[in-house]
Amino acid sequence: MDMSYLDLLMAQQEEVTEAEGGGGVWVVADLANGTVAPVTLEALGAARTLADALGAYVYGVLLGDGVSDGSTALTTSLAQTLYQAGADGVRVADHPSLARFALEPYLAVLAGLFEAEQPEVVLFGATGAGQELAARLAQRLGGGLIEHVTAVRLDEATRTVEATFPIYGGEYSEIAACPEARPQFLTIEPRAFPAPFIDTYRQGEPTMIEVDPVEPAVRVLGPADDFEPPALPLAQAPVIVAAGRQAGDFELVHQLAAALGGRVAGDRGARDAGWIGPQQVVDVRGVTVAPQVYVAVGIRGDTFHDAAIAESKFIAAIHPDPDAPIFQVADLCLEAEPAEVLPALLEALEK
Amino acid sequence: MDFTFAPEHVALRRMIREFAKNEVAPIAAEIDREGRVPFETLKKLAQIGLLGVCFPQKYGGMGAGETGYCILMEELGRICTSTATNVGAHIGIGAMSIYLDGTEEQKQKYLMPLARGAKIGAFVLTEADAGSDAAAIRTRAVRDGNEWIINGTKTFNTNGSFAEIVTVMTVTDPTLGAHGGMTAFIVEAGTPGFKVGTHENKMGIRGSSTAELVFEDVRVPHENVLGKVGEGFISFMKTLDMGRLTLGAACLGGAEAALEASIHWAKTRKQFGAPLAHKQSVQWMIADMATEIEALRSLVYRVAWMVDTGQSFTQLAAMCKMYGSEVASRAIDTALQIHGGLGYSRDYPVERNFRDARIAEIFEGTNEIQRIVIASNIFRQHGVRIRP
Amino acid sequence: MQIVVILGQVLDPSGIVVKGKAGRIFVNREEYVLQPADKCALEAALRIKDTTNAKVMALPRGPLPNDDVLRQALAMGADRAVYLTTRRVANPPYGDAVMADVLAAAVEKLGGADLLLTGATTLDTGQGQLGPRLAEALGWPQIVGAWQVASRRVSESAGGRVEAVLQRAGNYVTVEADLPAVVTVLPGALKPRYPDGVRLINVYRAEDAVERWDVSDLVDEASLQPLLEKRGQDFPPERELGVRLSGTPEEMAQALADALRERVSR
C-alpha cells in the first residue's frame, strides 16, 4: 500500500459541525491530574453506541478552572480529547469557583445547562463527584438514575436505556430502565466499558457556558491528620499477594503487593522461611481469606492452603511445576519461575 | 403447640451470635493456649446486660428468662466452651443461688451487682473428698454471736479465684448430715481468711479458672445465711437443677459447632477423586450427629419453656445435662474422625473443642448422678423409693 | 438537636447461592439484616447522642416487610422509630426517587431535623442515591461518603455545624457544613455498638414500640410513579479454572498484568 497516500487521506482533518442543542446523550467529564479521566473516555464510548442507536448526538461537558484557556496547550486539549473520543459537541464552564469539585457550583452550571438542553441520557463516571452530582441532578430534574452501570443496551422502541449493574458486589447483575422520566441518568463503572477509539484528527470548537458563581455549602477545613481508618484484617483484605517456598526473591513479592495496593501473606512454607509471621499464614490452620484478587507466587498448593482461598473471586498462580495442585483452583496459571515473571510483571503494571 | 421463639428471643439470639463472632471467636484459641480467663469478654458481656440475662429487670437483670439464658449458653458454647463455662458459673449457679433463695435485702445487695455484671459470682460446693457425694462436705460453719466462722478447703471451683461474691456450702450440724445439717452462706472476696489456693492445670476449658479455695476462720454476718440455717442441701439441689438445663444448652452449641465443622470439611476435603460428603460412612456420621442435635435442641428448649412457665423440671433438666454432654462428646469425637489428621492439629479448632467437651460429662453432677436423679424420679412417680 | 437516621434491610448474602449456569438465585436461608452502611450511620448518630442531648429518630428506606430494623434501632438507643405502611402493595412504586419525596415529608411531619444520616451505599444494589436525592428534596447540603461524623456547636447565635472526614483523591480531609445537612456514612466506617440487652427485650416485647404512619398521610400516594423498572437479571460467566497462559515469561507477565489491572482499582 502506498503509505504516503494513506497519510494524505488521514491528514484531511475532520471538522465536527457543532451539533445544535436539544436531546442527545451527554457525558459530564471527570478530570484527574489535569487530564480527562479514563472513565470519561469509556463513558463517551458508551455514549456513542447509545447515540448512534438513538440517532442523536453525543455531547461532552467540561467544568473546571483554566480548562479552556487557549494560552496553554494542555488545557485546550481537554475539550479536544472529548471530540477525539467521539463527542459531537462540547460545552465548557471555566471559572475559578469550579477549580475543584464542589457540589453547589457544579450543580448550578449543570442544572441550568440540562434544563435548557433537555438531554435524553446523561452519563457520569461512577466517581465520588459523579455520584453526588448525578443523584442531585436526577432529583432536581425529575430523572431516573442507575448507578455503577457495567453494560447498556438501548430499547429502541421507547428510546430507553437498559442498564446492567452489579448486585452483592458482582455475584450477579440486575438490569433496570427508566422508561418515561427524562433525562435518564447513569453513572458508568470504571473499567467496565472499553476505551473508545481516539480519532486524533477529530476536532471542534467548544461552546462556553456562562457561570454565575455559587458558594459551596460544604467547606474543606484541611487534611484529617489525626484520622486513622479502621484496620482491615487479612481475612477481609480485597487484594492479597501470597508467597510460597518457590517464590524466590521475597522483596519482589512485597513490591507486587505494593503495586496492587494489596496485603502480603504466604503459606506455611513462607512462614518456615521466615518471610511472614504466623498471622499472615493462609491455611485452614491459619487465616482463611476471601479477596477479590489472590496472587499465589511460588505456592505449590494443597487442600489446607487451597481451602483457605476457596472464596476468592480471582486467583492467579505462578509456579514452575506444571503439576502443582494450585493450578487446579487458580483462574490464571503461569507455569514459570516467579523470578522470571515478577520483574516483567512489575514493569508491565507500571505502564 | 407453637414451636417458634418469641420475637425478643430471636432478636437476642441474633445479637449474641454477632457478639460471639466478633468478640469471643477471635480470642478463643489464644485464651486456651495462654490458659487465661478473658476478663475483657466478661466486661463486654456485662456492658450489654448479658451477665444477668435470666434475672428479672427489677433485680438488674435482662428479664429474658431461662429461654434467653439457654440461647446465651448455646451461642457461646458454639464458639468457645471456656467462655460459656465462665458465664455459666457466674449466672447459672453463682447468681442463681441468691436469686432462688435470697431474701429481698440479699437480692438488692448481692444479686443486683451480679446481674449487672459489676461483680462476678461463683458457687462453691465441691471438696476433695466430696464430689458426687456432695453431702460429705466437711467445711464447717460455727456460730459465734451474730457471726458465723467458716473453716475448710474447697476444690475444683470455677470462677472462685476471681469472683467477688461466692455462695459457699458448709456443714453447720455434722450429726444431721444432708437433712438439716448444711447451710449456705454468701461470702465476699476480700473477707479476711478467704484465700485462693492452687489453680488446676486442666485438659480443657483452659480459658476458665478452676482453683482451690481456702477458708481460714472466715467470719460472715448472720445476714449472709442464704436460705435457712440447716436447709443448705435443699438450696443447692435447686440451684444445680437450674444449672443443668443451661449446661445442656451449652453442649447443644458445642455439638452444633462440631456438626458445622464436619459438614464444611466433608464438602471441602477430596479423597479418591471426590469430596468426603460422597462417602456413605461420612453421610451416616453426619445424619446421626444432626439427628441427636435436633433431639437435644427440642429437649433443651422445651425444658426452658417449662421453667419459664413455672412447671416442675428436675428430671428433665437432668436429662438435658446427661444427654447434652454425651451428644456433644459424640459429636466432637465424630468431627475429629471426619477431619482426620487436620483435626488432631493444635492449629485447628477441632482439637480444642475435643478437649473442652469432655468435662461436661463430669462436672455439674457426673452423668452417673444424673442417671440416678432421673431413675429416682421415675420410680418415685411409680411408688418406689430408691434406696441410696 | 434532632437527628434522623434512614435504615433499610437487605437479604443476608451468605444465605444465597447464585447459580450462573441455571440463571437462578437460590435462597437457602432467608435472613434479613440491617443494611451495613445504614447501621454505621445509626452508630454515628448514637455517638453524637452520647456526647450531646441529641434525640435520634429512625425512619425506614421504604415500606419494609416488617419493622425489625426499626426495633433494632430502638434497642441500640434511638429515641423514636417510625414504620411506614402503604396501600400500594400490588404495584409498589417505591424506588429511591419516590422515597426521597416521601421521606422529606416524613421529616417535616417529625417536626424537622438538624441532621439526617444514612448509609452511603446499599449492600445489594450498590446504589447510593437516596441520601443525595433526599438532600435535594429537603434543600440541604450533602456530605457523601463519610468515615467519621461529629457535630459542632459554633456559638449561641449561630446554628450548629456538622464535621466529617472524607476521602478525596486518596487523602483524608475534614469538611464541614452548616446544619441542617445530610451526611451519608460508609459501610465499615464505624464499629456499631451492640444493643443494650434490657432495651432489646423491652422493645421486642412492646407491640407498639415502633410508631406506624401510612404513606398516604405524607404524600398523595395514589399519584406516586416509580421512575425505574426491572428489566431482568444477568449472570457472570462460569468461572473457568486452570487456564494456562502460554509464551515467554514476559508475555505471560503482560497477560497477567492486563488481567490484574482489570480487577484492581489503583
CA-closest candidate to residue B86, choices B36, B16, B135, B134: B36
| Domain residue limits at A320 | 234-350
Tell me the per-residue pLDDT of A161-185, one tens digit each, with 9 for 90 and over: 999 999 998 899 999 999 999 999 9
Q: Which of C198, C200, C205 sits opposite B15 (nearest CB)?
A: C200
Distance from C-alpha of C205 to C-alpha of B8, rounded to nearest angstrom: 6
Which grid coordinates are listed for B245?
Answer: 438445663
Those residues with Cβ within 8 angstroms of residue A146's Cβ, 6 or more apart along the chain or in another chain: A163, A165, A176, A178, A184, A185, A186, A187, C127, C228
Q: Are residues A152 and A292 in the same domain?
A: no
Positive or negative: CA dihedral B358, B362, B364, B367: positive
B345-354, B375-384, C41-50, C84-93: segment of lowest average pLDDT: C84-93
Residue A313 belongs to a domain? yes
Q: Does the distance separating the beta carbons of C198 and B57 come in below 8 Å?
A: yes
Is residue A295 located within the same domain as residue A156? Answer: no
The pLDDT, as a whole number, for residue A74 is 45
Determine contact: C171 vs chain A, CB below 8 A: yes
User: Which triple of cell numbers denotes residue A70?
Assistant: 487557549
**What ranges do the domains of chain B cover?**
7-119, 122-233, 238-381
pLDDT for residue B316: 96
Task: Return the DSSP state at B94.
Answer: I
Contact call for A191 and C265, based on CB within 8 A: yes
Nearest to B329 by CA among B251, B268, B274: B251
**Contact check, Cβ <8 Å, B18/C194:** yes
- What pLDDT does A73 receive? 45
Average pLDDT over residues B99-110: 97
For residue A72, the model assigns a pLDDT of 47
CA dihedral B191, B192, B194, B197 (to 10 degrees): 130
- Optimal mutation site among B14, B59, B71, interface C, most CBs of chain C within 10 A: B14
**Among C72, C194, C197, beta carbon nearest to B62:** C197
Q: What are phi and psi of A146, to 5 degrees?
A: -125, 125
Angle of helix B349-357 versus helix B232-268 axis, rounded to 10? 150
Number of domains in chain A: 2
The DSSP annotation for B221-268 comes to EGGGEESSTTBHHHHHHHHHHHHHHHHHHHHHHHHHHHHHHHHHHHHH
Q: Which residue among A190, A295, A333 places its CB closest to the CB of C265?
A: A190
Query: Which phi and psi (to 5°) does residue B335 adopt?
Result: -60, -40
- Confidence band (pLDDT; 50, 70, 90) for B387? confident
Whether residues A283 and A196 share a domain: the answer is: no
Cα B53–chain centre separation? 14
Residue B346 has, within 13 A of its CA and on its CB side, a CA count of: 4
Question: What is the rounded distance in angstroms from the CA atom of residue C183 to the CA atom of residue A51?
Answer: 36
Residues in chain C with pLDDT values less than 50: none
Radius of gyration in angstroms for the set of CA atoms belonging to chain A, rounded to a whole number: 25
Same domain, A27 and A144: yes
Chain C's closest residue to B53, CA to CA, is C197
Give the pLDDT of residue C229: 94
Q: How far is CA A3 from CA A12, A198, A247, B270, in A?
A: 15, 21, 49, 62
Which CATH number is A276's domain given?
3.40.50.1220
Cell of A201: 484528527
What is the average pLDDT across A54-59?
94
Residue A285 placed within a domain: yes
Residues of C with CB under 8 A from a CB of B: 68, 71-72, 75, 194-198, 200-205
Mean pLDDT of A220-236: 92
> How high is the pLDDT of residue C265?
74
**pLDDT of the residue at C228:** 95
Closest CA to B20 of B51, B4, B55, B44: B44
Strands of the A58-64 sheet, one edge to the other: A144-149, A184-188, A121-125, A25-28, A58-64, A89-94, A207-208
List of residues 6+ apart from C34 with CB closer than 8 A: C7, C8, C9, C10, C42, C69, C72
The answer to whether residues A179 and A327 belong to one domain is no
Beta-carbon separation of B347 and A285 below 8 A: yes
Q: What is the per-residue pLDDT across B65-93, written as a single tens digit (0 to 9) for each? A: 999 999 999 999 999 999 999 999 999 99
Residue A96 included in any domain: yes
What is the enclosing helix (H) or strand (E) of C213?
strand C211-214
Distance from CA of C106 to the nearest CA of B (A): 27
Same domain flag for A203 and A238? no
Q: What is the dihedral sign for C-alpha A19, A20, A23, A27?
A: positive
| Average pLDDT, integer, range B122-144 | 94
d(CA B381, nearest CA chain C) in Å:
38
Q: Distance between CA B151 and CA B157 in Å, rounded?
A: 16
pLDDT confidence band for B239 (50 / 70 / 90)? very high
Q: Which residues on chain B place their C-beta less than 8 Å from a C-beta of chain A?
A: 268-270, 342, 345, 347-348
Integer CA distances (angstroms), B321 to B95, B166, B248, B306, in order: 20, 23, 4, 16
Q: Exposed (0-12), middle (13-18) or buried (19+): which is B330, by Cβ within 10 Å?
A: middle
Domains in chain C, ordered, with CATH? 2-228 (3.40.50.620)
Test mutation, B347, B350, B352, chain A, max A CBs within 10 A:
B347
DSSP per-residue string spanning B260-300:
HHHHHHHHH-EETTEEGGGSHHHHHHHHHHHHHHHHHHHHH
Q: Which three cell numbers stand for residue B222?
A: 448472720
Q: What is the pLDDT of residue B220?
A: 97
A1 Cβ contact partners less than 8 Å away, ≥ 6 residues apart = none
C126 to A139: CB separation less than 8 angstroms, yes or no? no
For A319-332, write each residue's pLDDT tens digit: 999 999 999 999 99
Nearest Cα to Cα of residue B362 among B219, B225, B200: B200
- Domain-located, residue A279: yes
pLDDT at B178 over 90: no
Which amino acid is it at B347? Answer: D
Is the C-alpha dihedral spanning C221, C222, C228, C233 positive or negative?
Answer: positive
At A7-53, the pLDDT tens digits run 665 555 555 555 555 689 999 999 988 889 999 999 999 999 999 99
> Which CATH number does the domain B7-119 belong to among 2.40.50.140, 1.10.540.10, 2.120.10.30, 1.20.120.1750?
1.10.540.10
C-alpha cell of B326?
A: 454425651
What nine digits make up the cell of B139?
Answer: 467445711
Whether A83 and A191 share a structural domain:
yes
The pTM of the full predicted model, rounded to 2 decimals, is 0.93
Q: Tell me which chain C residues have a C-beta less than 8 angstroms from the C-beta of A261.
A: 264, 266
> Would you tell me which CATH number, out of the four given (3.10.129.10, 3.30.470.20, 2.40.110.10, 2.30.40.10), belongs to the domain B122-233?
2.40.110.10
**pLDDT score of C262:** 85
Give A106-164 pLDDT, tens digit per residue. Answer: 999 999 999 999 999 999 999 999 999 999 999 999 999 999 999 999 999 999 999 99
In a domain, A166, yes or no: yes
Which one, of A74, A82, A73, lies nearest residue A202 by Cα?
A: A82
* A41 is a domain residue: yes
Residue B166 has pLDDT above 50, yes or no: yes
Task: Describe the crossing of helices B349-357 and B314-339 by its angle, rounded to 10 degrees.
Answer: 150
Nearest-5° Cα angle at A321, A316 to A324: 60
Mean predicted confidence (pLDDT) in A78-102: 93
- Kindly identify which residue of chain C lies nearest to residue A178, measuring between CA atoms: C228
**Local confidence band at A75 (pLDDT 50, 70, 90 cut-offs):** very low
A11: distance to nearest CA of chain C, Å?
33
Mean pLDDT over each residue of chain B, to the nearest integer:
96
* B238-381 is a CATH 1.20.140.10 domain: yes
Instruction: Give the separation between CA C40 and CA A162, rounded to whole angstroms.
Output: 32
- On whether both A318 and A196 belong to a single domain, the answer is no
Amino acid at A158: T
In this structure, are A158 and A246 located in the same domain? no
In the annotation, is B364 catalytic?
yes
